[in-house]
Amino acid sequence: MLIFGTRGVTTTRSRGDFHCPQCGDTRNYLQKGVRKFVTLYFIPLFPMKTMGEYVECQACRGTYHPDVLNYDPQAAREQMRTHFCETLKQVMVQVLLADERVHDAEIETVRNLFRKVSGQELGEDELRAEIRSAEASPDRTLEELNRMAAMLGDDSKETIIKAALLVASSDGEIDANERELIQHVAGAIQMSPAHMRGVLAEMHDERETDPAHARQHGMMN
């Protein structure tokens, strides 16, 4: 009597380098396919349908959906960076609006800080348009910060808070509304009170040791 059966047979379809999520770095992979074969006496005879494909990291042996090969860490970083600069701009605009008077000095500070962080120019028209859209939806920025919070490192959080404080103080003083807004921003990005105190102390020290900076920015009292 002939003994027929079926069996899954794994074959390598392709190989190359990819970004392994588990290793967090570039590694060799094998892309494998599993196909069902009809067997005769337990020996694969002819193939039936494909059962699935997966990618296996040759370092950690982690297995992934083939979509993992499309992930480009460099592009992802750039995307994150663009998103960060965009959100930082929105935070600064909210601070501009907090004291209900948009001063030229504040506009200048926003444009300088944006250039410093993003390496790009923020045109005055673009900034005015940003201000109008921010007025229309004041809560959008805090919601966005909240969504981003888990992805932000301590350095990024500090950049946001420092930028907010510099814009707030550029018209001479930080008023109560600006203070309150900055507290909300710190809350939204989940900055701890200790970290916030550290940032304030550091900015205070910078002012003490640099009189020109102090006059120019009139930092916190």
Q: Which residues bind Zn ion (CB under 5 A)?
A: 20, 22-23, 27, 57, 59-60, 62
Nearer residue to Zn ion within complex by CB, 25 or 205: 25
Structure tokens at 197: 């105190």
| Nearest distance from C-beta of residue 61 to Zn ion, angstroms | 7
Nearer residue to Zn ion within complex by CB, 37 or 54: 54
| Nearest distance from C-beta of residue 158 to Zn ion, angstroms | 32
Nearer residue to Zn ion within complex by CB, 32 or 89: 32
Three-state SS annotation for 26-82: EEEEEEEEEEEEEEECCEEEEEEEEEEEEEEECCCCCEECHHHHHCCHHHHHHHHHH
Nearer residue to Zn ion within complex by CB, 44 or 62: 62
Structure tokens at 56: 């296996």
Burial of 145 (0-12, 13-18, 19+ CB in 10 A): buried
| Nearest distance from C-beta of residue 35 to Zn ion, angstroms | 25
Q: Check if the beta carbon of residue 93 is closer than 8 Å to that of residue 127.
A: yes
Nearer residue to Zn ion within complex by CB, 27 or 213: 27
| Nearest distance from C-beta of residue 24 to Zn ion, angstroms | 8
| Nearest distance from C-beta of residue 66 to Zn ion, angstroms | 15
- The sign of the torsion formed by the CA atoms of 56, 58, 62, 68 equals negative
Beta bridge mates, 46: 38
